């Protein structure tokens, strides 16, 4: 009886397989299309936010250029440090986007600051100061952690000229990078999504969420930094993030004077969050399809062996189990 039972079981399985094969093929084709559509949508959403960040950043650069250009002509910026600091402290209240406003002499010594100076501070080594001094025009610095503010920022400088046309000082503004987090929050990204800003040395300056875990760490050796697409504009890639979670990433370069294109922002949306629904639906449809065809073939087999009581009991015993 056992060989006959195995033969009937194998026959039933083959019938089920051949019956569902065309439908399974259609299911896989449909799932592949949904998979690609979900992938494209995730990349588009990440790229859209990255592009918004870049556009907002460029707008902030233009606004800062205008502000510093005006400040460079204000008499309070010259000479008396206490008077200058009091002026900038009042102005700073109107511009909370900046971590600080200040002025340094041509040696890089800060003599005027909206925030109190607890010790001597020099910016002689900062790229925005050097560029403003040497180029005699508006300068965009590297991303950094401020010596006065202690915050992640990107600083901008503008030369102040004396009566003879020589640069006598540099007025600067430190843009607080917390605006990255505000944009990420407003974007209503799915759970597990991240927004990261990395400077040209590979140091994380902004990370949403969990800034306390990542800010200040060098990530040059990670897959995110090594394998990100090169070039200007917005580029996309499927990569493991700093935490090892695979995400759909969009990368956009952030402009600086000293190292163009090296600082960047990365927006990542978890692969699992995007494709889980598609993959779960495929598995669910396959199970339903196979079960429906098995029941149909079982019913057909019952009718064929209805006149043979023994074989009928074998099939019924197998199908009920």
Domain ranges of the chain: 61-178
- pLDDT recorded at residue 10: 59
pLDDT score, position 150: 82
pLDDT the model gives residue 1: 42
Q: Distance between CA 234 and CA 47 in Å, rounded?
A: 7
* Residues 6 or more apart in contact with residue 174 via CB below 8 angstroms: 98, 99, 100, 101, 102, 146, 148, 149, 151, 153, 154, 155
pLDDT(307) > 60: no
Q: What pLDDT score does 288 carry?
A: 61
Q: Could you tell me the pLDDT band of residue 318, with boundaries at 50, 70 and 90?
A: very low
- Assess whether pLDDT exceeds 80 at residue 20: no
Query: Which of 100-109, 121-130, 237-246, 284-293 has the lowest average pLDDT?
Result: 284-293
Which has the closest alpha carbon to 219: 203, 196, 237?
203
- In contact, 141 and 124? CB cutoff 8 Å: no
Contact call for residues 263 and 254 (beta carbons, < 8 A)? yes
pLDDT at 213 over 70: yes
pLDDT tops 70 at residue 206: yes
pLDDT at 112 over 60: yes
Tell me if the domain spanning 61-178 has CATH number 3.90.1300.10. Answer: no
Please give the share of the chain, as a percent, with pLDDT higher than 90. 36
**Spatial distance between the Cα atoms of 284 and 182, rounded to a whole number of angstroms:** 39
Question: What per-residue confidence (pLDDT) applies to 124?
Answer: 95
Residue 234 vs residue 173, higher pLDDT: 173
Q: Give the pLDDT band (50/70/90) at residue 67.
A: very high
Whole-prediction pTM: 0.69
Which whole number is the average pLDDT over 55-79? 91
Q: Is 244 left (phi over 0), alpha (psi -120 to 50) or beta?
A: left
**What digits encode the pLDDT tens for the residues 237-250?**
999 999 999 999 99
**What would the pLDDT profile of 147-191 be if each residue is shown by its tens digit?**
888 888 889 999 999 989 999 999 999 998 887 777 777 777 888
Longest dimension (CA), the chain: 115
pLDDT of residue 77: 92
Size of the chain, expressed as the number of residues it contains: 321
Asked if residue 209 has a cis previous peptide bond (ω within 30° of 0), the answer is: yes
Contact 274, 248 (CB under 8 A): yes
Instruction: For residue 315, name the pLDDT band (cuts at 50, 70, 90).
Output: very low
Distances in Å between the Cα of 68 and the Cα atoms of 12, 21, 72, 100, 170 are 81, 70, 6, 13, 9
1: nearest Cα among 306, 318, 301, 307:
318
pLDDT interval class at 63 (50, 70, 90): very high
Write the pLDDT tens digit of every residue in 257-298. 545 447 788 999 998 877 665 555 656 655 665 555 555 655
Percentage of the chain with pLDDT > 70?
72
């Amino acid at each position: 009886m056992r060989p006959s039972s195995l033969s009937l079981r194998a026959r039933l399985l083959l019938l089920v397989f051949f019956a569902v094969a065309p439908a399974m093929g259609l299911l896989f084709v449909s799932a592949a299309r949904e998979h690609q559509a979900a992938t494209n949508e995730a990349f588009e959403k990440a790229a859209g936010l990255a592009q918004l960040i870049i556009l907002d950043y460029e707008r902030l650069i233009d606004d800062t250029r205008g502000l510093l250009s005006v400040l460079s002509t204000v008499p309070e910026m010259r000479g008396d440090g206490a008077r200058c600091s009091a002026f900038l402290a009042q102005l700073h209240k109107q511009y909370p986007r900046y971590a600080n406003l200040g002025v340094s002499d041509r040696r890089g010594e800060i003599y005027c600051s909206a925030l109190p100076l607890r010790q001597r501070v020099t910016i002689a080594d900062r790229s925005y100061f050097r560029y403003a001094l040497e180029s005699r025009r508006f300068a965009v610095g590297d991303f950094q952690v401020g010596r006065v503010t202690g915050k992640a920022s990107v600083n901008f400088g503008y030369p102040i000229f004396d009566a003879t046309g020589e640069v006598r000082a540099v007025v600067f503004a430190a843009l607080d990078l917390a605006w990255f987090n505000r944009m990420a929050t407003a974007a209503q990204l799915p759970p597990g999504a991240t927004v990261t800003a990395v400077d040209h040395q590979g140091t994380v300056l902004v990370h949403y969420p969990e800034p306390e875990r990542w800010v200040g760490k060098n990530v040059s050796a990670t897959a995110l930094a090594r394998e990100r697409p090169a070039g200007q504009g917005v580029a996309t890639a499927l990569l493991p993030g700093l935490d090892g979670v695979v995400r759909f990433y969009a990368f956009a370069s952030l402009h600086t004077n000293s190292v163009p294109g090296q600082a960047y922002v990365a927006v990542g949306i978890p692969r699992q969050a995007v494709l889980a629904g598609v993959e779960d639906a495929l598995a669910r449809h396959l199970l339903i399809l196979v079960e429906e065809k098995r029941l149909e073939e079982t019913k057909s087999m019952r009718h064929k062996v209805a006149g043979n009581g023994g074989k009928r009991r074998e099939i019924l015993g197998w199908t009920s189990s």
